Amino acid sequence: MDIDQHAILGITPDASLDDVKRAYRRLAMRWHPDRNSDPLASERFKAIRAAYEQLVAVDAPQAAKNEAPEAEAAPETAADIRFNLEISLEQAAGGCRTTIDYTRGKACPSCAGSGEAGLTRTRFCASCHGSGRVRDPKRVLVGCPDCGGRGFFSERVCPDCAGSGRETASVSVEITVPPGMLPGDELRLAGQGEAASGDLAAGDLYLTITIRSHSLFQLRGRNLHFSMPVSALALLAGGEIQLPVLGGTMAMTLEPGSADARELHLAGKGFPGRGKHSAGDLFVRLQPVFPVRLDARQRKLLLQANAALLKEVEESLPEIAAWQREHLGS
């Protein structure tokens, strides 16, 4: 009976030369006798090497004609870990250092990641032919569900990890968040994902930035928006007011005008820039507030101011002057 060399490597007959090489590297790392003490490892490795040499001998000449040389494929890695990192608006704007705690897998110390309790006989998985991978309905290589991606079955499993070869470990990592990161931006920490195992390099840790709601500022892109109450008299007469900004306050001189609400636009005073992105702007809506009560001194001052306005009513209070002409004849 003909031996299916593709099945031995866990690939389909239409696999490319690169697929053959990747499958061989992965299986050789697992079954090389110097790395695997299983009694069947030597026999399995010989079969893997023979299948590889036969497929390469068939495919290499044609590949040399049709394909340009490619760079060495990146090593396969363990799974990446992803979760959100919530920080304050001030921390996002100015950058910060913080410590994160999470869990990830590591090789079981009792069985050194083999999943086996001591020396035992093993048998190869018939579904994946010992490769640990099969094709799903979409023809994508996935871990074999029958053997859990191991490629073989053990008659004696490690009681501490139930044969998985892995256990959960708590990890604490100090990280630096650079200034100017927005919600949705990602931080990548190389090698801080799932731990290395066998022929797999350690995965990476990805942190997606989220920013807590602020009591005052609203972040829209890199622009900051907020509203603040201002005395209607300050809007009328003008003068200096104090505006809150990220990290402190700044003085702002109002031009005399009406007592209506108005909006200030301060370019470059919003959320800080990062990389090629410039700083955002600050938008402040000033809401007029009228006095709710007056003491005697304040009332006297306002009456004096009102009397002065009425003396020049045509210029100061034109709406009142027009009404008086129409209805009072003055």
Please give the structure tokens belonging to residue 10.
């866990």
Residue 295 has a pLDDT of 93
Residues 233, 269 share a domain = yes
Q: Residue 32: inside a domain, yes or no?
A: yes
Q: Residue 17: inside a domain, yes or no?
A: yes
Nearest partner of 26 among 105, 121, 128, 126, judged by Cα = 128
Give the end of a domain, one of 22, 41, 66.
66
Residues 267, 231 share a domain = yes
Please give the structure tokens belonging to residue 287.
């809401």
Question: The domain spanning residue 268 has which CATH number?
Answer: 2.60.260.20
Residue 77 has a pLDDT of 73
Q: Name the more confident of 153 and 83.
A: 83
Quick: pLDDT tens for 211-263: 999 999 999 999 999 999 999 999 999 999 999 999 899 999 999 998 899 99
Q: How far apart are CA 49 and CA 150, in angstroms?
A: 19
Helices 17-31 and 41-66 cross at an angle (nearest 10°) of 160
Task: Confirm if 130 and 44 have CB atoms less than 8 A apart.
Answer: yes
Range of the domain at 251: 218-290
Quick: pLDDT tens for 104-114: 877 777 776 66
Give the end of a domain, one of 66, 93, 109.
66
Nearest partner of 102 among 194, 208, 196, judged by Cα = 194
SS3 58: helix
Residue 154 has a pLDDT of 60
Q: Residue 130: inside a domain, yes or no?
A: no
Question: The domain spanning residue 44 has which CATH number?
Answer: 1.10.287.110
Q: Residue 240: inside a domain, yes or no?
A: yes
State which H helix or E strand residue 156 sits in: none
Residues 286, 307 share a domain = no
In terms of average pLDDT, the best of 48-52, 80-84, 266-270 is 266-270
Give the pLDDT mean for 298-317. Answer: 89
Residues 327, 274 share a domain = no
Please give the structure tokens belonging to residue 158.
């490690």
Q: Residue 311: inside a domain, yes or no?
A: yes
CB atoms within 10 A of CB 274: 18
Q: How far apart are CA 144 and CA 165, in angstroms?
A: 16
Give the end of a domain, one of 66, 86, 102.
66
Q: Residue 260: inside a domain, yes or no?
A: yes
Give the pLDDT mean for 22-38. Answer: 72
Q: How far apart are CA 308 and CA 315, in angstroms?
A: 11
Task: Confirm if 76 and 201 have CB atoms less than 8 A apart.
Answer: yes
Quick: pLDDT tens for 187-211: 999 888 887 766 677 888 999 999 9
Q: Residue 193: inside a domain, yes or no?
A: no
SS3 281: coil
- Given a cut of 80, is residue 118 above it in pLDDT? no
| Confidence class for position 34, pLDDT limits 50, 70, 90 | low
Please give the structure tokens belonging to residue 154.
């053990």
Nearest partner of 52 among 113, 3, 114, 101, judged by Cα = 3
Residue 195 has a pLDDT of 78
DSSP of 274-323: BTTBPP--EEEEEEEE--S---HHHHHHHHHHHHHHHHTHHHH-HHHHHH
Q: Residue 92: inside a domain, yes or no?
A: no
Q: Name the more confident of 168 and 321.
A: 321
Residue 265 has a pLDDT of 96
Residues 56, 14 share a domain = yes
| Residue 268 identity | G
Instruction: Provide the number of structural domains found in the chain.
Output: 3
Residue 217 has a pLDDT of 97
Residues 308, 281 share a domain = no
Residue 71 has a pLDDT of 42
Q: How far apart are CA 42 and CA 32, in angstroms?
A: 7
Task: Confirm if 308 and 315 have CB atoms less than 8 A apart.
Answer: no
Quick: pLDDT tens for 136-155: 787 777 778 877 777 776 65
Q: How far apart are CA 209 and CA 190, in angstroms?
A: 17
